[in-house]
Structure 1
Amino acid sequence: TQMEHAGMVLDVSHLNDECFDEVVAHATRPFVASHSNSRVVCGVKRNLTDDQFRTIRDMGGIVGLNYCSEFLSNDATDETAADVTFDQLAAHIEHWLDLGGEDVIALGGDWDGAAVPGFLSDVSKMPEFQNMLSRHFGKTVMQKLCSDNALAFFERY
């Protein structure tokens, strides 16, 4: 609560399930998971459960998609990270859209040392990534994911 009073936005991306529950028990303002994926799609504990995603959604928060291959695919390793496909990444977005997340999902990244898919190897790949998102999800969802949702969140808070 002291962070909220100071005007800070809490990021839960590195919290375990117990700590997430503590945040929910005490939070009075929306919070974010700046770089987290769906645990249903890729079963690592670092990813969000559906209930956690719904909580963030219902509180008015945002969830940023993590590019780390091992958080995108159950089969990914550091050695096979570049081989993770757009479809494997898109499965996280599709799942969150099914949970009513069109206005919740944002880009989160994780380029600071994480092994990422080849199609996201560096920031120069973003224009083509945006095109892939637009072709797969449509321009409106791509725009929300790439900028509108995060901007709207920070304008509100």
Structure 2
Amino acid sequence: MTTDSIIPVFDGHNDALLRLHLSSEPEPEKRFIKGETVGHIDLPRARKGGLAGGLCAIYVPSPSRELDANGDYPTPSHADALATTLAMASLLARIARKSEGSLRICRTADDIRAAMQAGVFASVFHIEGAEAIGSDLDELYVLHQAGLRTLGPVWSRPNIFAYGVPFRFPSSPDIGGGLTDRGKALIRACNELKIMVDLSHMNEQGFWDIAAISDAPLVASHSNVHALCPHSRNITDKQLDAIRDTGGLVGLNFGVSFFREDGLKNPDTALEGLVRHVDYIVDRIGIDHVALGSDFDGTTIPAAMRDAGDLQLLVAALRNASYDDAALRKICHENWISVLERSWAN
């Protein structure tokens, strides 16, 4: 594959920061910049696969993998979540500082365009699960000044803002309550600060509560089609329609258990399964409302696409399904840049 044939990808979700943060190996910044043999993303593999940038998530793991009596993962304390969030934000800043211009933290759509044009990895500071933010929202304002531009109020567990949708298959996403009063205040503050609100990991009631409050496009950064894979994490037809009506989008999750009809975590799964989800969204709500949200370093992806270096294999599968270059540019990066620009507009 020649460089000229590569369609650059701006991706809606990766967990590389968590992988690096949890690693016992030294010099995580250097390993990300120079390359390594574990995980899905580093700068050399990003260049090889045409991964031009994306939302780099900060996610604080649950203190235990044991489910509680309600079937939920335990929620980290505010103090632990804040400490871990700051550590990963610092890690991203150090990578940018030490990369000699190879990675840039972007705060505007023009920043993303400029970085992509220069061949620089365009990173956006994203938080997945707002446990680091207290009820007075003080941390939100400080983190915004530090570069935070997108935020998911919950991961798949409850916190003071909302009830995150548990991982269940087969299941409707209609599980648990919606936004708390603090959650409603958080959404209004995100709108005020022009922080994009991410609906992935939100249950159905929370989705509709946000839809009723927010004046920004509705975006699910790394979710798939519930009609094709009835996982609780996926988006229903009614939700897809609401996303279209606000000018939002869905970023397709590469996790096999979120796009296989049987929900199995089986890496021996063809990329054409992801193409089916793209086709469904395009047919229902239009090509302007679908993008990619890989979940690299955070999920089990098809073995045929080992890591970010193989990303153009998915682009080729889409091309084989009759998507032309103009359509591929929309799916791969233009739709993300458009929705971020409109979400961040003054």
TM-score, scaled relative to structure 1 = 0.92
Measure, in 1, the Cα distance between the counterparts of 2:305 and 2:191: 34
- 1:14 partnered with 2:227: no
Q: Give secondary structure in 1 for the equivalent of 2:276.
A: helix
Matched, 1:108 2:280: no
Tell which deviates more after alignment, 136-145 or 57-66. 136-145
1:9-88 counterparts in 2 under 5 A? 9-78=196-265, 80=266, 82-88=267-273
Percent identity of paired positions between Structure 1 and Structure 2? 32
Deviations 1:23-48 (A, max 9, x none): 11111111310001000010111100
Deviations 1:91-147 (A, max 9, x none): 111111111320010110111231111233210111222122122122222111101
The one-letter code matched in structure 1 to 2:235 is L
- Give the TM-score taking structure 2 as reference length: 0.43
In structure 1, what is the Cα distance between the partners aligned to 2:291 and 2:237?
16
What is residue 16 of structure 2 aligned with on the other side?
A: none
CA RMSD of aligned residues (A): 1.3
Larger helix proportion, structure 1 or 2? 1
**Larger Rg belongs to:** 2
The alpha-carbon deviation at position 67 of structure 1 amounts to 0.5
Do 2:305 and 2:313's aligned partners in 1 also have CA atoms closer than 8 Å? no
1:134 aligns with 2:319: yes
2:329 to 143, 150, 155: 143
Equivalent pairs, count: 155
Distance 1:37 1:125 in 2: 21
**Contact between 1:119 and 1:129, CA under 8 Å: does it hold in 2?**
no
Deviation, structure 1 residue 76: 4.3
Separation of aligned partners in 2, 1:90 and 1:129: 8
Which ranges in structure 2 are unaligned for 5 or more consecutive residues?
1-187
Which 5+ residue runs of structure 1 have no aligned equivalent? none
CA distance in 2, matches of 1:128, 1:120: 7
Q: Distance in 2 between matches of 1:76 and 1:118?
A: 16
> What does residue 92 of structure 1 align with?
277
Distance (whole Å) between structure 2 residues aligned to residue 9 and residue 125 of structure 1: 29
Moved over 6 A (4+): none
- Contact 1:76-1:84 at 8 Å conserved across structures: no
